[in-house]
Amino acid sequence: MKYCRSLFVCFLTGFVHSSFAESADIVDPFGDFPSELPNESSAIKSAFNWNFRNELHGYYQSDSIRDDGLFDAGVIAFDESYQQLALDSGWQVSSGGQWSSVGRFALIQNKIQTDDQETNTTNKHPLLEGYLEWSSQSGTWRSQIGRIKPQWSNGYNWTPANLLKPSYDQVSLDDDDLTQQRGWDMAVLEWRTGQWSVSSYASDYDGETFNSNSQYAVSINREGDVDSRLVIHHLEGASTNYAFTMSALLNDAITVRMEGTWQQERELALASNLSYTPDDESGFGRYVFGSQLSLANGWDVTIEYLYNQHGYSDDEWQLVKDQVSLAKASLQTPLATEAYTFLADSYDQLALGPLRKEYLYGMIANTRSSYWLHYRQSFQMNLNDDSVYHNLELIQNWSDHISTRIKGQIFTGCETCEYGLLPSEQQVRFSLYYHF
Amino acid sequence: MVSDASRNIVGVQSMGLVVGCHERFRKGLNNSFCGLLTLLFVLGLSFSNSALSSTALSSTENILLTQTQVDELVVALDDYRGYRDQGFSFSITNISYKKNKDPKKNELSVKVLGNQSLVHFDAPARDKGRAMLKEGKNMWLSIPGTRRVIRIAPSQRLIGETSNSDVVGTNFSEHYQAALQGEETIEGVNYWVLALSSKDTGLAYDHIKVWFSQQSGQRPLKSEFYTRSNKLLKTAYYKGFKEFANKVKVHKLLLVDGLIKDNYTWMKFDDYKLRSLNETEFQKSALTNLQF
């Protein structure tokens, strides 16, 4: 009985306390201070400024693998589950004057289990970026040397203006894949004045597609109400490519963007005689038109259209399908080696970018709001074959340092449609982030 | 005999009506009613105080506040948040409160040069490294994970419950037309009440009311921010001031939501420094390598 009475008193005390707390005036969280503090010196405390940004994250992903993919000859073991643990560490050091240094490196451990129950563990420690920057006293001239990842695209989803090769940008950005953030070893010289800036780039090329060692680019950028950029990119011994970007504010809530590239070489090869051969034609464009509407309640709606000349036309796609049928029919013949190689190469084509001509992207998200749970849903639709890639993310910031994300992806479409060709039919990923 | 105090109350109330009528007149509403009130007001003033002119008056000292003095008060308001056309930097700590929710805190470093500003996110840790460039209505956001710089709309509120204008400050003397609306006595202190109307489109607030102390220093007490439809968006209480290199700046600001009184944000401004900034620092390409 005495125990119950004590509980009642505690409850009553708590009730009275909470009632007072609700009706209390707004309390200054910064504490009391003299109304006129002494004059604060404006002297810079230290000549050097250090800034760090670190993230430790891990995720587990489970995939549902299709049983009968179009390119599947039954000999490839597909990845069924993934585990990743990664440290993403970035820093910036400034002398307080004309010199500064920026860097970012990652330690990544991946553990992958294939659908035939084989487990592979890999460790990577890439330097994603690391460069030294010098700027003139007036700030008009700047120079950077080291590993840098320039971003010429101003895109929401597709980023065709990022012309440097090999491209690390994916059709759908995977925040957890740090290797997508790797830069190129290069030297940059930049001139800025008012709304204009001109940057020139000399970079190495370590890809295998072209027989080149270096690549060069010039970017002319004008900022303002209509933001525009022209990029000229040259791959040594290969080709000169061009990109143009533009973005503008339609009104207080709507932004629009446009982006286009023109490249000499076609990114996708044509199928014939159980092999893929480069297209002899030259001059292929890729164009993006997009808009984002920002609602007052914290939700953003984004829509984007892509026209891709690199993609296969209906006739060219029919050729791919015919060759796949021929390859599958040849698996038990003397042409088996060519047939298997062709089917494996077909899977590689999927990783090169959009396979067809026209795409639509849409997203709705409240990730900039202060809601308890952040929601992001998007779709990417191939307008030529109606296959769709759906993406849903639920993000929760548990504290200033800890966040979680649950992400689900579904790839729908017929077995000869782009998103129906992917080995995975569904993916679920749970990620945990610790920021410090 | 009517005392000075009561006469002034009548004067202020009438003046409020006249200012209100002027607004209505401007919007083409109820013109004849306003004209009648104006006539009564002018007659009343003629009988009660022959020394009064058509400009505004003070409650205690009967001094007039000319338009020049009104404009000077608005410039002073700008000076409490910055150094006008000179380059400067400062830091902000925001703590936002919502009923039944944990407070959210963020820390920012800001550089300002004219109508250009750079905001660097220092805390919380998950947002560290983000940066925003604002040049008038044009805004760009850089997210460190991807290094992409994308254009964002002014209506996108990126910093908790505070608007982007609350953070980088607004040049009131440039973007608003000020008029003396009246005066008020609050807890024994007399305040000028100024009405600021936006001169430009696309500003975060259509019109603002600001209370200035009539005591020496003429510090602001509070501001009310309204939409075009006269909805009160928020009230800012200037809760503390601090000297930085012999210049007094707002040190603490309390922003209370106009609709939900339980939603409010404390802002602490600190480390004000005059800086030799160059406009080349306020370019998109600078967003990915900011030095604060």
Identify whether A429 is part of a domain: yes
Q: Which of A405-414, B16-25, B104-113, B258-267 shows the lowest mean pLDDT across its residues?
A: B16-25
Across the interface, do B285 and A221 touch by the CB < 8 Å criterion? Answer: yes
pLDDT, tens digit (0-9, with 9 covering 90-100), for A202-218: 999 988 878 889 999 99
- How many CB pairs below 8 A link A and B? 166
- Which residue, among A18, A26, A55, would best test binding to B if mutated, counting the most B CBs under 10 Å from its CB? A26
The DSSP annotation for A381-427 comes to: EETTT--EEEEEEEEEE-SSSEEEEEEEEEEES-TTSHHHHSSEEEE
Chain B environment of A149 (Cβ under 8 Å): 147
- Cα dihedral A21, A26, A28, A34, rounded to 10, equals -120
Check residue B290 and give its pLDDT.
59
Identify whether A306 is part of a domain: yes
Percent of chain B topping pLDDT 70:
75
Beta-carbon contacts of residue B236 (< 8 Å; ≥ 6 apart) = B166, B222, B223, B224, B225, B253, B254, B255, B256
Check residue A28 and give its pLDDT.
85
Identify whether A9 is part of a domain: no
Task: Please indicate whether residue A9 or residue B240 has the higher confidence score (pLDDT).
Answer: B240
Q: What whole-number distance in Å separates Cα of residue B8 and Cα of residue B12?
A: 6
- Per-chain mean pLDDT for chain B: 78
Identify whether A224 is part of a domain: no
Residues of chain A where predicted confidence (pLDDT) is lower than 70: 1-25, 32-47, 369-371
pLDDT, tens digit (0-9, with 9 covering 90-100), for B60-77: 444 578 999 999 999 999
Angle of helix A314-329 relative to helix A336-350, nearest 10 degrees, comes to 140
Q: CATH number for the B80-174+202-289 domain, one of 3.40.50.720, 2.50.20.10, 3.50.50.60, 3.40.50.300?
A: 2.50.20.10
Across the interface, do B150 and A221 touch by the CB < 8 Å criterion? Answer: no
Identify whether A140 is part of a domain: no
Distance from the first to the final alpha carbon of chain A? 50
Mean pLDDT of B101-109: 88
Query: What 3-state class would DSSP assign to A231?
Result: strand
Chain B, 4-63: which have a CB under 8 Å from a chain A CB? none
For position A370, which CATH number holds? 2.40.160
Tell me what ipTM this predicted complex has. 0.84
Domain boundaries, chain B: 1-54, 80-174+202-289
**Nearest CB partner across the interface for A42, out of B146, B273, B288:** B273
Identify whether A355 is part of a domain: yes
Shortest alpha-carbon distance between residue A417 and chain B (Å): 30
Q: Is B291 on the interface with A (CB under 8 A)?
A: yes
Check residue B7 and give its pLDDT.
34
Domain tally for chain A? 1
Sign of the dihedral through C-alpha B171, B193, B33, B226: positive
The DSSP annotation for A266-285 comes to: -SSPEEETTEEE--S---EE
**Nearest CB partner across the interface for B153, out of A139, A193, A294:** A294
* CA closest to A131 among chain B residues: B289
Q: What whole-number distance in Å separates Cα of residue A203 and Cα of residue A134?
A: 18
pLDDT, tens digit (0-9, with 9 covering 90-100), for A303-348: 999 999 999 999 999 999 999 999 989 988 999 999 999 998 898 8
Q: Which domain holds residue A391?
A: 56-131+167-186+207-213+236-435
Identify whether A377 is part of a domain: yes
Q: What whole-number distance in Å separates Cα of residue A172 and Cα of residue A389?
A: 10
